[in-house]
Structure 1
Amino acid sequence: MTSIASLSAAELGPLYAAKELSPVEVAKDALARIERFEPEINAFVVRDGAATLAMAEASQARWLKGEALGPLDGVPVTIKDNIGVAGWPMKRGSALASDAPWPEDAPATARLREAGTVFLGKTTMPEYGWKGVGDSPLSGITRNPWNTTTGPGGSSAGAASCAALNLGCIHLGTDGAGSVRIPAAFTGVVGLKPTYGRVPAYPVSTMGFLAHLGPLTRTVADTALAMNAIARPDERDMTAIIADPIDYVAALSGGVKGLRIAYSAKLGGDVPVDADIARLTREAALAFRELGASVEEVDPGFADPLETLMVLWSAGAALALRSIGPDGRAQMDPGLVAVAEAGERVAGSTYVEALLNQRNALAHHMAQFHARFDLLLTPTLPLPAFEVGRNTPGHGGYGEDWTRWTPFTYPFNITQQPAISLPCGLTSGGLPAGLQIVGAFGEDALVLRAAAALEAFRPFARVDAPIKSI
């Protein structure tokens, strides 16, 4: 049989049903590999082997009785540290946070528990998820398995590193300006930011309507399986979409023949794009022509909405830190404190202008664009993973602000559209490149169908153990 370390969530269920493999065997294998690789990647803030094995044993008993809860029963998963898990602390990457156990599961966590998944632990993130890299005062530096001198991106840093090494099959993350897609691109995995409200949140993020929850996985099929479980309304989130459930697994079939696809190499901006990234993402985009879609190179035609993002982002950071005084702030990430202090200076009218008028204008512009094109393709990021311990690359080409190297991700948090990052090849330095597929609001199933078509046509490279240098 293929090694456990290479199996996807979609492959585990049939093996459990045939009694060729058990959830306990899979959990023990995952725990052993985490023990082996964790010193090199530092992806976890909570591990509870006894709880993991108890969940696996309960799943195994259900499979033996023929009473499995569904296709995810016994599948190992991880949860980002800003998503509640009953009985485990939620520290959000901050050394100041309490060690007290969180009282209840967040909606997405609850849905995974109800599906019978096995929790491996909680994964690392920068403090309060404020930036696109993976270090924090709480856990230090998380590293990229493709080259441990580089970072996995953030803020869903540990989730992405775990996904790359298949330390669990499904990894819950959050995305307020690219925090699922950024690390997915840097680590060569699939990262979906669903339409806002598709996956409910509780407690609601201080970043408000920017913040989405979504999975990171090794395969599109596993992303679809995760969405079948977590994309359900919850009464604790008033913004959660109320709709008939979509079978995202069934929606993967059908291909892209006849779709109208736009490809934008720079979104109309002037950000420098690494030559390998430009080549790999363009090749992947044009591959859709071979799959029967029309592909036109065209920019969507909007101005960089960074100012809108930062009004909302900084105000959210100010809210997150409002009860923390000078002594506490002195122990926090200085960059987060600076953003929060900028947010304290944002006028209420300026915030409402960004929240309503500017956000709605961009969303309307993209709705008109999608009347012409079913999907928009871009590079997920303009550069491959860079050295750890920095917010921006050391060469200085993107200044000192991390948002300068994420121009392709945050616009679609503002518009709340679904967007997925899909690995599309390796640079000459052996680091992954990511292609972003963006759909119209609510078209999550179409985004996944296109991703599945490309994945089947152009299979992705995998990493099985951390690579210490390239």
Structure 2
Amino acid sequence: MSDTDLCYLPAAEALRLFRKRKLSPVELMAATIRRAEAIQPTVNCFTFTHFDEAMDLARKAEAKYARGRKTGALEGLPIGIKDESYIAGKPTSNGSLIFKDYIASHTSPMNARILKEGGIVHARTATPEFSCAGYTWSRLWGITRNPWNLEKTPGGSSGGTAASLASGTSAIATGSDIGGSIRIPASNCGLVGYKPPYGRNPDDPPFNLDFYCHTGPLARTVEDAIILQNVMSGPHPLDISTLRPKLTLPTSYRPIKGWKIAFSMDLGFFNVDREVQKNTLAALEVFRALGAEVHEVKLGWTEASLEASMDYLDHLFGASVSRLLKEHGSKLTTYARAFARKGQKSKAVDFVHALDMANRMYATLGPILEDYNVLVCPTTAIPALPADFDQSKDQVKINGRTIKNPFLGWAMTTPFNAMSRCPVISMPSGRAGNGVPTGIQIVGRTYCDADVFRAAMAFETAQGQWYGAARSRPKL
């Protein structure tokens, strides 16, 4: 098996080969590091790397498998960890000059679980500053690029994670999603990205108490996403929001024949690129071929739904960043500074209005999901933004029209952060003419995680996995 084939091997398959002693964690880690060193100058998906330590840990994992010792659920896998969570004694920058020398004193709950299960953190994946953008560049680390088209962004804020997976430099990797930050990069890079329902996975304070905020996995296959999600999930003694009991998802599911699937192309108000529409319609035909009924539905949502979500993000997330303005404003990126200033202006009445709007939105979505197994819609209204896009000054045009909100007016993800108890998975739907992938979201009833994975697994089985052959990978 070539180095490249090794690097794109599904994590689940690598684990099976480890257990059969047909592949060593050392072989996989060495191939991954060689590819990372070759790809990093072009894609720029990593911030900090820990290659020497990763090789040492791979040797220890190899010895465990060789001696038949008990191994963890992720034992020996190279796992990219988004550069916003913490590992004690290791640097975390949050993509900011302000924290370029910060060393963590504790390990974030999800990272502790990954390490306990034998996952090896060979690298930290790049983010926009404080994860407050749907693209990935910062003054500290530069521009992260989409492996499918280097002129485009891999998305954000988990953009480094997505770029790493798409370029074969991590087996699986972590993300977080407060406005689409897992699903946007999953769509932009042809990956599986899962936003679990609020409370399913633990997080660090204070954003563990923000119901828009979710940690979750990105992966190249549905099974790989399930493997990481099962490690990340469950109640945690330091996070009061986490749910009991722990949910463990199966990795195989029955067919979806006879299911009823609702779909909306625009959620009532998005202007959706024609290529995204075409690929979404093709994806719906896959579901029909699987024996599901597919019906268009009207949610009754308007642009006011997105505006309310933005008010929510300004009030909590923007206000959090705004605390840095007085002392560190000159070190911030243009987009983080603009977001912080909006946070300073936010009012409590705007926040309360956002809560009212979330209830109004669910008043139509909830009954629809009682009649249908899942809802399907595009993940983003365009294939991808330019790699150097800046929401503080640049505009977004879709089908020749400039949209009102360049921050997230092109991302059809944020409404489902407001609908935070609904599980949502993003799946690849096709590619645009510029080579960039597009995606669909599969939205489930509240806390019905297995439903979206069942639909995603059926879709992937019918459609085929994206990275299994050289012809279906980025040409890097």
Bin for the TM-score computed over the shorter chain: over 0.9
> What are the superposed Cα offsets for residues 37-71 of structure 1, whole Å, 9 maximum, x if unpaired?
00001111110112211221221121122123234
* Partner residue in 1 for 2:53: 51
User: Which amino acid in the other structure matches residue 456 of structure 1?
Assistant: T
Residues 92 and 125 in structure 1, CA contact (< 8 A), matched pair in contact too: yes
Residues 144 and 160 in structure 2, CA contact (< 8 A), matched pair in contact too: yes
Residues 180 and 216 in structure 1, CA contact (< 8 A), matched pair in contact too: yes
> What is the CA-CA distance between 1:466 and the residue it aligns to?
5.4
User: How many angstroms apart in 2 are the aligned matches of 1:344 and 1:71?
Assistant: 44
User: How many angstroms apart in 2 are the aligned matches of 1:183 and 1:345?
Assistant: 29
User: How many angstroms apart in 1 are the aligned matches of 2:210 and 2:380?
Assistant: 24
User: How many angstroms apart in 1 are the aligned matches of 2:466 and 2:427?
Assistant: 12
* SS of residue paired to 2:408: helix
* Partner residue in 2 for 1:259: 259
Which residue of 449, 452, 455 corresponds with 1:444? 449
Cα gap change, 1:393 to 1:37, in 2 (>3 Å):
farther
User: Which amino acid in the other structure matches residue 283 of structure 2?
Assistant: A
> What are the superposed Cα offsets for residues 172-196 of structure 1, whole Å, 9 maximum, x if unpaired?
0001111111111111111111111
- What is the TM-score normalised by the length of structure 1? 0.93
Residues 7 and 171 in structure 2, CA contact (< 8 A), matched pair in contact too: no
User: How many angstroms apart in 1 are the aligned matches of 2:278 and 2:56?
Assistant: 47
Residues 221 and 465 in structure 2, CA contact (< 8 A), matched pair in contact too: no
User: How many angstroms apart in 1 are the aligned matches of 2:201 and 2:374?
Assistant: 21
- What is the TM-score normalised by the length of structure 2? 0.92
Cα gap change, 1:344 to 1:22, in 2 (>3 Å):
same
Residues 370 and 440 in structure 1, CA contact (< 8 A), matched pair in contact too: yes
Q: Does 1:281 align with 2:286?
A: no
* SS of residue paired to 1:321: helix
> What is the CA-CA distance between 1:441 and the residue it aligns to?
1.2
> What is the CA-CA distance between 1:296 and the residue it aligns to?
0.5
* SS of residue paired to 1:404: coil
> What are the superposed Cα offsets for residues 141-170 of structure 1, whole Å, 9 maximum, x if unpaired?
100000111111101010000111221121
* Partner residue in 2 for 1:81: 83
Which residue of 141, 157, 160 corresponds with 2:159? 157
User: How many angstroms apart in 2 are the aligned matches of 1:6 and 1:349?
Assistant: 49
Question: Any residues of structure 2 matched to 1:10-409 within 5 Å, and which?
Answer: 10-205=12-207, 208-249=210-251, 252-269=252-269, 271-304=270-303, 305-326=305-326, 328-355=328-355, 357-391=356-390, 392-393=395-396, 397-398=402-403, 401-406=406-411, 408-409=412-413
User: How many angstroms apart in 2 are the aligned matches of 1:390 and 1:280?
Assistant: 24
> What is the CA-CA distance between 1:203 and the residue it aligns to?
3.0
* Partner residue in 2 for 1:453: 458
User: Which amino acid in the other structure matches residue 376 of structure 1?
Assistant: L
Note the residue ranges of structure 1 that are not aligned, 5 or more in a row: none
* Partner residue in 2 for 1:423: 428
User: How many angstroms apart in 2 are the aligned matches of 1:19 and 1:159?
Assistant: 28
Q: What is the alpha-carbon root mean square deviation over aligned residues?
A: 2.0
> What is the CA-CA distance between 1:227 and the residue it aligns to?
1.1
User: Which amino acid in the other structure matches residue 362 of structure 2?
Assistant: A
User: How many angstroms apart in 2 are the aligned matches of 1:383 and 1:324?
Assistant: 32
User: How many angstroms apart in 2 are the aligned matches of 1:248 and 1:11?
Assistant: 16
Structure 1 runs (4+) deviating above 6 angstroms are none
Cα gap change, 1:207 to 1:180, in 2 (>3 Å):
farther
User: How many angstroms apart in 2 are the aligned matches of 1:207 and 1:130?
Assistant: 18
User: How many angstroms apart in 2 are the aligned matches of 1:419 and 1:264?
Assistant: 15
* SS of residue paired to 1:341: helix
> What is the CA-CA distance between 1:289 and the residue it aligns to?
1.3
Which residue of 417, 422, 425 corresponds with 1:413? 417
Larger displacement relative to structure 2 (411-420 or 334-343): 334-343
Note the residue ranges of structure 2 that are not aligned, 5 or more in a row: none
* SS of residue paired to 1:40: helix
> What is the CA-CA distance between 1:369 and the residue it aligns to?
1.8
Cα gap change, 1:207 to 1:167, in 2 (>3 Å):
farther
Residues 317 and 336 in structure 1, CA contact (< 8 A), matched pair in contact too: no
Aligned positions, number = 463
* SS of residue paired to 2:331: coil
Q: Percent identity?
A: 32
Residues 49 and 124 in structure 2, CA contact (< 8 A), matched pair in contact too: yes
User: How many angstroms apart in 2 are the aligned matches of 1:24 and 1:147?
Assistant: 31
Cα gap change, 1:262 to 1:325, in 2 (>3 Å):
closer
Cα gap change, 1:210 to 1:244, in 2 (>3 Å):
closer
* SS of residue paired to 1:425: strand
Residues 55 and 119 in structure 1, CA contact (< 8 A), matched pair in contact too: no
Residues 423 and 443 in structure 2, CA contact (< 8 A), matched pair in contact too: yes
Residues 206 and 317 in structure 1, CA contact (< 8 A), matched pair in contact too: no
